[in-house]
Amino acid sequence: MATIKQMKFARGYTLGQLKQLEGADWDKLHPGFSNNVRWNAGHIFVSLENFTKMINPDFEIVHPEWVGLFNTGTSPEGWGEGVPSNEEILSALKGQTDRIAAALDGQLEGQLGHPLEIAGHNMDTGEKLLQFSVWHEGVHGGILNAMVHLSKA
């Protein structure tokens, strides 16, 4: 349960950063950044959906159409139709953690069918992968924090 609480804490931080960006241009690409606010917010959502599916293979990903927009390695460059609005992304982020917590109930201690390894760090249980997802959201929350400051400059 501690990791679930951390997940919700991280999400609260992310939503706080996005609240500060109300009225800002979510599509502006700031110098030194490869992605914009919309991409970072969508990426946080899509990544947690993907990590949850790795932990619980029966989990149904919400907004699978967003994966091609916000997955790792994607970019807002060349986006056409079907890009979700600020409100759609915010709504999805607000409802996600309770839905994920329910989907992961009793799933965190088990071994993953396909462990994730990044730079020699092996995440072979649901708990380890969810902890990684909390760290991952914090990284993108920090990027959003920098964009808050840039939007006020």
Output the six-digit token pair for 25. 């241009």
Tell me the domain boundaries of the chain. 2-19+38-75+83-152
CA dist., res. 52 & res. 58, Å (int): 10
pLDDT at residue 1 is higher than 80: no
The string of pLDDT tens digits covering residues 83-119 is: 999 999 999 999 999 999 999 999 999 999 999 999 9
The pLDDT of residue 136 is 97
The string of pLDDT tens digits covering residues 5-38 is: 999 999 999 999 999 999 899 999 999 999 999 9
Question: Coil, strand, or helix at residue 100?
Answer: helix
Q: What CATH number should be reported for the domain whose range is 2-19+38-75+83-152?
A: 1.20.120
* CA nearest to 141, candidates 71, 43, 26, 24: 43
Q: What's the whole-number average pLDDT of the chain?
A: 95
pLDDT-based confidence at 147, cuts 50/70/90? Answer: very high
**CA atoms in the 13 A half-sphere facing the CB of 42:** 28
The pLDDT of residue 107 is 93
The pLDDT of residue 152 is 83
The pLDDT of residue 127 is 97
Q: What would the mean pLDDT of 119-143 be, rounded to a whole number?
A: 97
